[in-house]
């Protein structure tokens, strides 16, 4: 168990540097501050609750590092709340776990000269990490047998030697959607013997039952994104591969977990295939069979759960808040363990002793580790990944409630401008989330693409609305926009802007809009259909042509089943009139379009089409297209993110606070020192 007094003392010590000496008056956040933010990633509490293993996400410093994704380090908190670095530097650690006795931390990584992602273990007492399993292929998931003499592995196999030899000779053609390779299930023993278990389909998850005689696996027909999103189904098999049961879960699937006795399998799923996001807490018999939803009236979404003794602990996202709860597998005794208005739970891990570790953010900081113990009415924060934030003045963040045109009550989050003075009106940046099966919670919502705190420092309000179709308010609310793209869901956005104008905060002539994916779709809609409402737009990996979108995306079935509810050939008119390019001839909003050139979800042709339609008009608006080579559905590399942030804010400054007119120059001053000699670009 954690020593709460010592944990708090350790955290205070970490903050002392902020308070020592003469500290300059706190300033607001900058884009450079956002780029260097660290945060907690995965968490795993030890079985006895005495330690917490966690990953820390560390962005690259482009002044000294080669470009690439953030690093993911391994750290451990001990019982006194002191954090110890285990594996740091240029590493990428994931898949955290513990051996049952708590002597060893297990994790997945590709280290040094590893050809594939391996399973490693490192003793809690310290020392070098050692390889526990290294099959031919990348390990995607794993779970140990109860006696820990075997481990089940989900392995993505490599290309055959024959096919690789053909590619080496120049035969590098791609046979679209036919060359997929199924994820395999392997059983590996501690004496380095491995055997593949024959499974019909592609394995996505594996969980070994506490009795050791069964495994729960999630399987898809093919290893294609559409299948992994919509068609994961649960099977119960023996370690030899004999199927002994199924759970016919419909639609999307989240995590699975066995009860301590192995008689119940809990999982997060959906009750209808049309539900666009898994979020129902469900159970089924340990031998397979019919499922039961435990909280059918929940106006929220469960995204994290774990057994806590013979009950299930869970995190439910409800409105802009989260709730740590617990319920019995028969649906009785539901209770709230903890709910705070300004703490958003984002991860959950439960020890065998019932202790609970949480990762959580607040409006003042990104994800950190907290612990909750029985009979306590408060949380204890144990980590501080960014002690320098204590010297940064955070802008105010409040919950905004408003009515849509049809009377539906909606919520959003408003980050206030730093220099707010009552009676004055300020420019606004509308930040639209993607999905739309997603939502904003009242925690940390600033990022490279939606830099709310930095925008506040520059004199902007930034508004994050949860429009209809968002998660966090139950199934019916999430279904409410289906089959009606760009209708009420996007008028909800304008209604939110009007509310802020009507209460005297925002200058209606200086409103910008931005967002990624479905939020990028909303941005394109704002720049075309609602062009008279927005003075600037920045679209990220967004879509502009519904007909082409369905034909070029890797999620066509998902788009049909949980978004459009009809195929284009069944209703061409719906698809045409829900496409921003349909209104290109009336567009006057200056729009900056940015897109990953390797995006499989929303093909970059969506951005090219919008760009071309706009520049071909007789009186085109200012429009610029920026493509990021190698980036997919959202930027991952440090340089791409930094470039994006600078372009976003310069575009808004130019058209919402500046003179507007012609576009700003396309060249940027990145403000970086000369890069070092680091050759690691992974």
pLDDT at residue number 18: 33
Mean pLDDT of 109-120: 95
Give dist(CA 71, CA 678) in Å, integer: 14
Q: What is the pLDDT of residue 26?
A: 60
**CB-based burial label for 598 (10 Å; 0-12, 13-18, 19+):** middle
How many CB atoms sit inside 10 A of residue 422's CB? 6
User: Tokens for 18?
Assistant: 């902020």
Query: Residue 191: what pLDDT?
Result: 80
What is the per-residue pLDDT across 361-391, written as a single tens digit (0 to 9) for each? Answer: 999 999 999 999 876 678 899 999 999 999 9
Q: 417 and 395 in contact (C-beta within 8 Å)?
A: yes
Phi, psi for residue 261 in degrees, rounded to 5: -90, -5
Say whether the peptide bond before residue 438 is cis (omega within 30 degrees of 0): no
| Per-residue model confidence as pLDDT tens digits over 233-266 | 999 999 999 999 999 999 999 999 999 999 999 9
pLDDT value at residue 502: 98
Tens-digit pLDDT profile for residues 595-646? 999 999 999 999 999 999 999 999 999 999 999 999 999 999 999 999 999 9
Say which range, 6-15, 450-459, 649-658, has the weakest mean pLDDT. 6-15
CB atoms within 10 A of CB 157: 16
pLDDT tens digit string along 56-106? Answer: 999 999 999 999 999 999 999 998 889 999 999 999 999 999 999 999 999
CA 456 to chain CA mean position, Å: 24
Q: What is the pLDDT of residues 579-608, one digit of tens each?
A: 999 999 999 999 999 999 999 999 999 999
Which residues sit opposite 475 in a β-bridge?
none
Between 488-502 and 518-528, two packed helices, what is the crossing angle to 10 degrees? 70
Measured in whole angstroms, how far is the alpha carbon of residue 172 from the centre of its chain? 33
**Best CA proximity match to 68, nearest among 667, 673, 672, 639:** 639
Rounded to whole angstroms, the Cα distance separating 462 from 430 reads 6
pLDDT tens digits for range 146-176: 999 999 999 999 999 999 999 999 999 999 9
Provide the token pair at 44: 């795993």
pLDDT at 672: 79
Give whole-number Cα distances, 543 to 478, 486, 594, in Å.
Answer: 20, 12, 11
Phi and psi at residue 571, in whole multiples of 5°?
-160, 75
Give dist(CA 624, CA 133) in Å, integer.
Answer: 49
> Which residues are CB-neighbours of 562 under 8 A, at least 6 positions away?
230, 251, 273, 274, 275, 276, 437, 482
Q: Which two tokens stand for residue 312?
A: 């299930």
Q: Which region among 8-12, 114-118, 173-177 has the lowest average model confidence (pLDDT)?
A: 8-12
CA 112/CA 679 separation, integer angstroms: 14
Contact 321, 344 (CB under 8 A): yes
In the numeric block, which tokens belong to residue 576? 């045409």
pLDDT tens sequence across 547-561 = 999 999 999 999 999
Taking only the tens place, the pLDDT of each residue in 17-45 is 333 332 334 689 999 999 999 999 999 99
> What's the pLDDT at 1?
53
Q: What percent of the chain has pLDDT over 70?
A: 94
Q: Write down the mean pLDDT value for the chain.
A: 93
Give the pLDDT band (50/70/90) at residue 673. low
- Residue 582, SS3 per DSSP: helix
Q: What pLDDT was estimated at residue 676?
A: 41
Note whether 109 and 41 are within 8 A (CB). no
φ, ψ (nearest 5 deg) of residue 440: -95, 135
Q: Which two three-digit tokens encode residue 408?
A: 């539906």
Determine how many CB atoms are found less than 10 A away from the CB of residue 381: 18
- Residue 312 CA to residue 301 CA, distance in Å, equals 15
Could you tell me if 71 and 91 are in contact, meaning their C-beta atoms sit under 8 angstroms apart?
yes
Domains observed in the chain: 398-655 (3.40.50.1820)
Residue 563, number of CB atoms within 10 A of its CB: 23
């Amino acid at each position: 168990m954690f020593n709460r007094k010592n944990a708090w003392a350790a955290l205070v010590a970490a903050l002392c540097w902020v308070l020592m000496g003469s500290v300059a008056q706190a300033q607001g956040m900058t884009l450079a501050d956002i780029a260097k933010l660290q945060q907690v990633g995965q968490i795993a509490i030890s079985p006895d609750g005495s330690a917490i293993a966690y990953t820390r996400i560390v962005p690259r410093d482009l002044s000294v590092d080669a470009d690439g994704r953030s690093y993911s380090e391994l750290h451990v908190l001990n019982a006194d709340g002191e954090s110890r670095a285990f594996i740091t530097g240029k590493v990428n650690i994931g898949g955290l776990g513990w051996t049952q006795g708590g002597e060893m931390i297990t994790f997945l990584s590709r280290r040094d000269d590893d050809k594939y992602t391996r399973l490693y273990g490192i003793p809690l007492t310290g020392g070098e990490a050692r390889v526990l399993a290294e099959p031919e292929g990348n390990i995607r998931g794993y779970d140990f047998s109860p006696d820990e003499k075997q481990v089940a592995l989900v392995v993505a196999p490599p290309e055959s030697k024959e096919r690789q030899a053909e590619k080496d000779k120049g035969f590098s053609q791609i046979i679209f959607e036919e060359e997929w390779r199924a994820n395999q299930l392997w059983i590996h023993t501690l004496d380095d013997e491995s055997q593949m278990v024959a499974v019909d389909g592609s394995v996505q998850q594996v969980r070994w039952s506490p009795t050791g005689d069964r495994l729960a696996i999630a399987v898809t027909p093919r290893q294609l994104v559409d299948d992994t999103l919509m068609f994961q189904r649960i099977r119960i098999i023996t370690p030899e591969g004999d199927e002994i049961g199924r759970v016919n879960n419909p639609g999307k699937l989240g995590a699975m977990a066995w009860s301590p006795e192995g008689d119940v399998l809990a999982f997060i799923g959906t009750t209808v295939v049309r539900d666009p996001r898994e979020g129902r807490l469900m159970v089924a018999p340990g031998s397979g069979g019919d499922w039961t939803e435990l909280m059918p009236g929940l106006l929220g979404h469960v995204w994290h759960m774990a057994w806590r003794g013979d009950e299930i602990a869970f995190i439910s996202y409800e409105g802009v808040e989260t709730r740590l709860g617990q319920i019995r597998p028969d649906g009785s005794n539901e209770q709230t363990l903890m709910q705070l208005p300004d703490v958003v739970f984002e991860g959950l891990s439960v020890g065998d002793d019932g202790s609970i570790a949480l990762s959580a953010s607040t409006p003042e900081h990104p994800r950190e580790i907290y612990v909750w113990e029985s009979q306590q009415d408060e949380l204890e924060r144990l980590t501080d990944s960014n002690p320098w934030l204590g010297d940064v003045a955070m802008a105010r963040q409040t919950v905004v409630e408003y009515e849509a045109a049809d009377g539906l009550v909606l919520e959003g989050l408003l980050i206030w401008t730093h220099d707010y003075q009552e009676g004055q009106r300020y420019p606004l940046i509308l930040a639209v989330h993607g999905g739309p099966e997603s939502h904003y919670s009242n925690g940390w919502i600033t990022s490279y693409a939606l830099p709310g705190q930095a925008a506040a420092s520059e004199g902007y309000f930034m508004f994050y609305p949860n429009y209809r179709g968002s998660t966090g308010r139950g199934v019916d609310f999430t279904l409410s926009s289906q089959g009606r793209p760009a209708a009420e869901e996007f008028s909800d956005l304008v209604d939110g802007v009007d509310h802020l104008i009507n209460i005297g905060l925002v200058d209606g002539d200086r409103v910008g809009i931005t967002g990624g994916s479905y939020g990028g779709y909303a941005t394109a809609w704002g720049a075309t259909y609602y062009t008279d409402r927005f003075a600037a737009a920045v679209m990220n990996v967004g879509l502009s042509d519904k007909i082409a979108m369905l034909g070029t995306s890797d999620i066509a079935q998902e788009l049909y089943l949980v978004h459009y509810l009809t195929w284009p050939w069944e209703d061409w008119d719906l698809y045409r009139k829900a496409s921003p390019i349909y209104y290109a001839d009336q567009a006057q909003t200056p729009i900056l379009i940015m897109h990953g050139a390797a995006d499989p979800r929303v093909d970059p042709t969506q951005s090219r089409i919008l760009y071309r339609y706009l520049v071909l008009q007789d009186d085109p608006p200012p429009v610029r297209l920026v493509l990021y080579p190698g980036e997919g559905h959202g930027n991952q590399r440090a340089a791409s993110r930094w470039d994006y942030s600078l372009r976003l804010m310069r575009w808004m400054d130019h058209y919402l606070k500046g003179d507007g007119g012609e576009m700003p120059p396309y060249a940027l001053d990145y403000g970086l020192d000369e890069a070092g000699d680091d050759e690691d670009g992974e």
